[in-house]
C-alpha cells in the first residue's frame, strides 16, 4: 500500500492510497477520510460507492462530507468504480456506461471481463480487510453511493446483511434488470441468462430480503436519468410488496449532480451514525 | 449574458453564465450561487477570487460554501481568474503563474497584456454592475479569495474601501513586490517601475490604509508556498506598524489546497455576514 497524498481537513486526514488488488488483478487507488477521533480510538466506517465515470476523487472533493464525518467520528472509504490500468479491457466503443469507470459492483463471469471485473468481492471483502488491517477503524460498516454506486450499495449490503449496519443511496439505479444501463452491464458482465442478474438488482433484493437493513434513498425530480434509468418506483413497489421499511424521499428541482449529493449528504451521515453506534 | 448551467443546491440555485466583457475584451464565464432567500428579497454578495490555474468552478465544486450561504442568505459570485479565449495572450512558456489563469487582479499597462488583462476593473466595476443589474442582490459587497485571489481580495478592497464591507483571505500572496510570483506578474503586467506596483501589494496597502476594513486571514502552516511566496509575516508587520486590526490565524498541518479552504470557509462566511448585515 502506498500513500499518494495526505491533506489535513476538518482536523482529520484526507488520504489517498494505491495498492495491489489480488481480486481485481490490478493496481487500485482509494481515498479514505480519517476523522480527528481516529487519533485516539478506532472509528466505524462508511463506504461510499461512486457512479459512472467517477474515480475515488469525485466524492472526496465535491460532497463536503468530511465536515460531518469529523463531527460524528466516522471514517469514509472511497473506492474507485472499476479495475484500472494496462491490460484491463474497456468498452469496445469507449462508452462511459460500461468497462472502465463502470464496474457496476458485480463479479463478472464472462470473458474478457472476468479476469479483472470483480468489484463485488473487492468492495465487500478485499478492501475492508485492507482497511481494517491498516487503519484505526472498527469492523462496523455502513454503505452508501450514487447512481451506479447507489445500486452497488443496496445490492452489496442486502446480499451481505451481516456485514453492514445500514444502507443509503442517492439516485440509485433501482432496477438494473429493466433499464438500458443495467441491461448492458449485467448482460456483458454476467451473460445473457437473467437468472444470474437477479441478485444484482436492488428491487429484486428488496422484494426478497430475509433481513431488513435500514435503507434511506434520496432522488431528485429534475434528474435527467430518473425515468429511463433509475426507476425508484420499482424499488418502492418492491418494498411495499415485501413490507420493507424503505425511506424514499423525492426532492423537487434537484438533479443528478454532486450539488444534489452535497445538499443532503449530512443527513445520510447522521442516518448511518445512528446504526454504526 | 447566457446561462451555461443551473443546479439546485441547498434549496438555492448554483448558476453559471457567460457574457461579453467590454473591459477584458473577451467572453468571460462566472458562477453565482443564489441562496433560497433570493427568491423573496435582495441579498448581499460575497465575491470570491480564486488562485492560480483556477476557473470559476474550483470554488463552486470544492469549497462547500453553498450550505452556509443558504443559511445566511448570501449570494456568492465566482469570477474567472483571467481573460480567456482566442486572441488573449498567454505566458510565452505556458507557465502556470502568469497569463491565462493568472490575471493577478491588476490592470495591465504593458503590451501585449494591456489589451485584455484588466481584471482589477472587471472585478471592481464591470462584474458587480452586471450582477447588480441582473440578479436579486443588494449593493452590499464583501470580498474573499485564495492565494493569488487572497491578494486580489485585499488589494481591490483596500483601494476601494467604500465598495466593500469586509475582506478575508486564505493563504494570500501578502507581499507580491517581494516574492517570485508577484515580481514576475507585476513586472510583466505593470512594467519595471516598482512605484506602480505598490498599490497592488497587500502589505503596502495595509501599512498605508486610510480606512480600515475588517480583515480576516487564514494561513496553513504545511503550505508549500508559505515561505517563498505568501509571507504572512510581511502583512503582520505592516499591520503592527499602521495599527491595522488584522486578524491573522495560522493553522497547524493545513496546506494550500481546497481541503484547507473547505475546513474554514464557514467561519469566513459568518465573518462577512456580520458586516454585510
Q: What is the DSSP string of A165-219?
A: S-EEEES----GGGSHHHHHHHHHHH-S-GGGTGGG-HHHHHHT-SS---EEEEE
Q: Which of B9, B10, B259 sits opposite A14 (nearest CB)?
A: B259
Q: Point out the catalytic residue in the list B151, B223, B268, B272.
A: B223
Point out which residues pair with B15 in neighbouring strands. Answer: B6, B32
Chain A contacts of B258, Cβ < 8 Å? 61
A188 at B interface, C-beta within 8 A: no
Interatomic CA distance for residues A64 and A120, integer angstroms: 26
Contact A1, A99 (CB under 8 A): no
Catalytic residue among A21, A50, A147, A171: A147
Would the CB atoms of A220 and B255 count as touching at under 8 Å? no
Q: What's the burial of B237, exposed, middle or buried (CB within 10 Å: 0-12/13-18/19+)?
A: middle
pTM of the model: 0.97
Give the pairing type, strands B137-146 and B75-79.
unpaired
pLDDT by residue for chain A (277 residues), tens digit each? Answer: 999 999 999 999 999 999 999 999 999 999 999 999 999 999 999 999 999 999 999 999 999 999 999 999 999 999 999 999 999 999 999 999 999 999 999 999 999 999 999 999 999 999 999 999 999 999 999 999 999 999 999 999 999 999 999 999 999 999 999 999 999 999 999 999 999 999 999 999 999 998 999 999 999 999 999 999 999 999 999 999 999 999 999 999 999 999 999 999 999 999 999 999 8
CA-derived radius of gyration, chain A: 17
**Helix, strand, coil fractions of chain A, as percent rounded to 5:** 40, 25, 35
| Cis ω before B112 (30° cut-off from 0) | yes
- The pLDDT tens digits of the residues spanning B90-145 come to 999 999 999 999 999 999 999 999 999 999 999 999 999 999 999 999 999 999 99
Give the mean pLDDT of B82-91.
Answer: 96
Query: DSSP label at A114?
Result: G
Q: What is the pLDDT of residues B259-274, one digit of tens each?
A: 999 999 999 999 999 9
Q: Are B29 and B17 in contact (CB under 8 A)?
A: yes
- B217 contact partners, CB below 8 Å, separation of at least 6: B150, B168, B169, B170, B172, B174, B232, B235, B246, B247, B248, B249
Q: Cα separation of A1 and A23, whole Å?
A: 15
Whole-angstrom distance, CA of residue B117 vs CA of residue A263: 36
> Which ranges of chain A does DSSP label H, i.e. alpha helix?
57-62, 66-72, 119-121, 127-134, 148-159, 180-190, 202-207, 232-242, 258-276
Report angle CA A66, A258, A253 to the nearest 5 degrees. 125
ipTM: 0.96
Q: Are A132 and A33 in contact (CB under 8 A)?
A: no
Residues B47 and B166: beta-carbon distance below 8 Å:
no
Can you tell me the distance from the alpha carbon of B98 to that of B34, in angstroms, rounded to the nearest whole number? 31
A10–B253 CB contact, under 8 Å: no
Q: CA of B224: how far to CAs of B149, B227, B251, in Å?
A: 17, 8, 13
User: What length is written for chain A?
Assistant: 277
**CA-based end-to-end distance of chain B:** 29
**Rounded-to-integer distance, Cα A39 and Cα A53, Å:** 33
Q: Which of B9, B67, B259 sits opposite A8 (nearest CB)?
A: B259
**C-alpha cell at position B128:** 458587480
Closest of A276, A271, A223 to residue A247, by C-alpha: A271
Nearest CA in chain B to A62: B62
Residue with cell 451514525: A273
Nearest CB to B10 within list A10, A14, A263: A263
Calpha distance B274→B277 (Å, rounded)? 6
> Which of B252, B109, B122 is closest to B191 using CA atoms?
B109
Average pLDDT over residues B73-88: 97
Closest CA to B89 of B121, B112, B107: B112
**What structural domains does chain B harbor?**
2-276 (3.40.50.1820)
Amino acid at each position: 500500500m502506498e500513500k499518494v497524498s495526505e491533506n489535513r481537513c476538518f482536523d482529520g486526514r484526507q488520504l489517498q492510497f494505491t495498492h495491489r488488488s489480488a481480486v481485481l488483478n490490478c493496481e487500485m487507488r482509494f481515498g479514505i477520510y480519517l476523522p480527528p477521533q481516529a487519533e485516539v480510538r478506532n472509528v466505524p466506517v462508511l463506504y461510499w460507492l461512486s457512479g459512472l465515470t467517477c474515480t475515488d476523487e469525485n466524492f472526496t472533493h465535491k460532497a463536503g462530507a468530511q465536515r460531518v464525518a469529523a463531527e460524528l467520528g466516522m471514517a469514509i472509504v472511497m473506492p474507485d468504480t472499476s479495475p484500472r490500468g494496462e491490460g484491463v479491457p474497456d468498452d469496445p466503443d469507449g462508452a462511459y456506461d460500461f468497462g472502465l469507470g463502470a464496474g457496476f459492483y458485480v463479479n463478472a463471469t464472462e470473458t474478457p471481463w472476468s479476469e479483472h471485473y470483480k468489484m463485488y468481492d473487492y468492495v465487500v471483502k478485499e478492501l475492508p480487510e485492507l482497511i481494517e488491517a491498516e487503519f484505526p477503524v472498527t469492523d462496523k460498516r455502513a454503505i452508501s453511493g450514487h447512481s451506479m454506486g447507489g445500486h452497488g450499495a443496496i445490492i452489496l449490503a442486502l446480499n451481505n446483511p451481516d456485514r453492514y449496519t445500514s444502507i443509503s443511496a442517492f439516485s440509485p439505479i433501482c432496477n438494473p434488470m429493466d433499464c438500458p444501463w443495467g441491461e448492458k452491464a449485467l448482460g456483458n458482465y454476467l451473460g445473457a441468462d437473467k437468472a444470474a442478474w437477479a441478485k444484482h438488482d436492488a428491487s429484486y433484493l428488496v422484494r426478497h430480503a430475509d433481513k431488513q437493513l435500514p435503507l434511506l434513498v434520496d432522488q431528485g425530480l429534475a434528474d435527467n436519468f430518473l425515468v429511463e434509468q433509475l426507476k425508484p418506483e420499482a424499488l418502492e413497489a418492491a418494498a411495499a410488496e415485501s413490507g420493507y421499511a424503505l425511506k424514499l424521499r423525492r426532492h423537487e428541482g434537484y438533479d443528478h449532480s454532486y450539488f444534489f449529493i452535497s445538499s443532503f449528504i449530512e443527513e445520510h451521515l447522521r442516518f448511518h451514525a445512528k446504526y454504526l453506534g
